[in-house]
Amino acid sequence: MSALRFLFNVTLKRRDLSQALFITRIVPRLPEVLSIEEAVRLDQSAPGIKYLAALGVAYGAGLRVSEVAHLTVDDIDSTRMLIRVEQGKGGKDRNAMLSPQLLELLRMWWREGRKRGVLWEAALKRFLRRRDGIGGP
């Protein structure tokens, strides 16, 4: 605003145009929160425990999709009830709250994933990439 006023007043010598300028305030909006019924419907739409856990982490802890996709087992701190998010939006690290219900859901997925061998395979691939210096986490 100051730059435009300077342009109109000093450079162009058009005080009439600078008087027509005014500051508009942007009112911050609160995010939409799902009702209990909507959250239950969302949970019921998940095709399996893996997707239910991902939805639970995204909505319950407020994580973005990319943050959920990059979570590892080491990021879950059940003693302090925190989820460690590394390289989130803007490349910043942060902590998110972990509810007891969400922790139990993650433990259910952990047990199910270990039965299928899914978690071990993903952890092994991450370890090999880090060891060989290939790509991200």
This prediction has a pTM of 0.60
Within 10 Å of residue 95's Cβ, how many Cβ atoms?
A: 14
pLDDT of residue 88: 76
Average pLDDT over residues 37-41: 90
The CA distance from 45 to 106, in Å, is 18
Chosen CATH of 46-118 out of 3.30.70.100, 1.10.443.10, 3.30.300.30, 3.40.50.10420: 1.10.443.10
pLDDT at 85: 87
Confidence bin at 117 (pLDDT 50/70/90): low
Strand partners, 97: 82
Q: Is the pLDDT of residue 37 over 90?
A: yes
- Domain residues of the chain, as ranges? 46-118
* DSSP state letter for 43: H
Tokens of 97: 């709250």
